[in-house]
Amino acid sequence: MASRRRWSGDLLKAQREAAGYTRAQVAIAIRRSWAAIYQFERDELTPGREAQAEMADLFGCSLDAFYVFEESDAVA
């Protein structure tokens, strides 16, 4: 059984809110648009690794905090 990870906009939103940031504040801090942050949180767009790392640094969490880990029966 393998484990795979999936981006979760809900987890991003939870981290942002726990850290006390608005979407606009995050957008300014990581040099992205407010619309991009909105799309990240709605799973309409997955941020690149650089944006993920910047948000993890901003919120004081690991990259894993943005991912759901799922078990898969698929054999690689």
Segments making up each domain of the chain, as ranges: 2-64
- Whether 74 shows a pLDDT value over 80: the answer reads no
- Whether 2 shows a pLDDT value over 80: the answer reads no
- Whether 76 shows a pLDDT value over 60: the answer reads no
- Whether 26 shows a pLDDT value over 80: the answer reads yes
- Whether 58 shows a pLDDT value over 70: the answer reads yes
Structure confidence at residue 72 as a pLDDT band (50, 70, 90): confident
- Whether 3 shows a pLDDT value over 90: the answer reads no
Fold held by 2-64: 434 Repressor (Amino-terminal Domain) (1.10.260)
Report strand pairing: 67-72 vs 2-7: antiparallel
C-alpha count within 13 angstroms, C-beta hemisphere, residue 66: 25
DSSP class of residue 73? -
How far apart CA 1 and CA 30 sit, in angstroms, is 37
Average pLDDT over residues 59-73: 92
